[in-house]
Every structure is written in structure tokens, then in C-alpha cells.
A = this chain, B = another copy of it.
Amino acid sequence: MSTSPETPYHHGDLRRALLEEALLILDRDGEAGLQLRDLARAVNVSPAAPYRHFDSRAALLEALAVTGFQRFTKAMEAVALESTGPGLRLAMGRAYVHFALEHPGLFRLMFSSQLRRDNRPGLRMAADAAFQTLRHVTGSDTRSERIAALAAWTQVHGLAVLLLDGQIAARAGEDSDALITAILDRL
């Protein structure tokens, strides 16, 4: 699948290749399954090669989480443009949940408290930008607006997480998207 002819010998766009392959592994095997040596092997470089592009495994994970928040922001903004008025909040909730289901490993990584502990500024900024998009919709000036916004967020996020963990699932013959909509409609 490489763009260069035959095998990409000694060089190439390794940084991008690493990130792309890492995203695949992340959503397939989860964060614990993403091993630097495996990743290097998958891209046909030596175990030490990734260190020319990332300081450490944690730095790689941060880069992944940042791109995750960027994609998430784009997805939310797209909904904000095509949907309007009353249906907007529900549409964004559904998009939020769908993003999580489509990128399970990435979504979990974005909210991983492990990453938050190292307190990397790039991640904080990407996350803030994403949440800013959400606040646009709900407003957060008065206290009651803020509480309502947080209540909506906890609902949507909880649904995403419980679906991801397999704790909530549609029953046999039940439409999974209809279930999501029904739950989000309760607030």
C-alpha cells in the first residue's frame, strides 16, 4: 500500500506512515495492544527508527490523541453546519456517539487519564478546541445553562462509553441507532 515503487528502502514519509498504521492498530487492539516494536515491524523499519520522529511511546500516543480531537472537532462542526435549530442538539449527540463507535481505540485514548497525567500542552489545546465546539451549541453563560450543558454532555458521553464497553447493546431485531436516538431524546 506504499506510494513509492516496490519496497520503500531506507526512507520515506515515516512519521505519517507510523501514525496511520498506529491508528489501525489502536482501533483494532486498543492502546495496550499498540506496541512500538510491532508498529515498527508493520512499517518495515527497525525498532529504533520511530525514535527519530517521536520522543517516546507516550509522545506517539499524544500525537494520536491530538489528531483524534481534530477529527472529532471537524465531525462536530460538520453537523453544526448541516443541522439547524431544534434538531441540532440531538444531531450532535448522535454524531458524538457515532464517532466513538467508529474509532473506539482512538476515542478511549482521547479521554485516557493516563495521557492527561503527563499534562502535555498540545493535547490540552486540542481537547479544549473540541469542547469549545460543543459549548457553541449549548451555551454556558448562566449557571443553569452550564448545568444543562454538562447534563447533556454526561448523557451523550456515558452512552458512548457504555456502548463501547458492550454494557449497552440493542436487542435482537432492535435497530441500534433507534435505541441511541431514543435514549438521547430523554433529556
- Chain A residues in contact with chain B, CB under 8 A? 30, 32, 104, 111-114, 116, 127, 131, 147-148, 150-151, 153-159, 161-162, 164-168, 179, 182-183, 186-187
Q: Cβ of A113: which chain B residues have Cβ within 8 Å of it?
A: 30, 104, 164-166
CB closest chain-B residue, reference A111 = B165
Given the known inter-chain contacts A30-B113, A32-B114, A186-B148, please indicate yes or no for A162 contacting B153, CB distance below 8 A.
yes
User: For the complex formed by this chain, how many copies does it contain in all?
Assistant: 2
| Nearest CB of B to A43, in Å | 24
Tell whether, in the assembled complex, residue B162 and residue A157 are in contact, meaning their CB atoms are under 8 Å apart. Answer: yes
Most buried by B among A131, A155, A164: A155
Closest 10 CB pairs of A and B: A158-B158, A154-B158, A151-B186, A154-B159, A157-B158, A155-B155, A113-B165, A147-B182, A151-B183, A111-B165
Q: Cβ of A148: which chain B residues have Cβ within 8 Å of it?
A: 186
Tell whether, in the assembled complex, residue A154 and residue B166 are in contact, meaning their CB atoms are under 8 Å apart. Answer: no
CB closest chain-B residue, reference A104 = B113
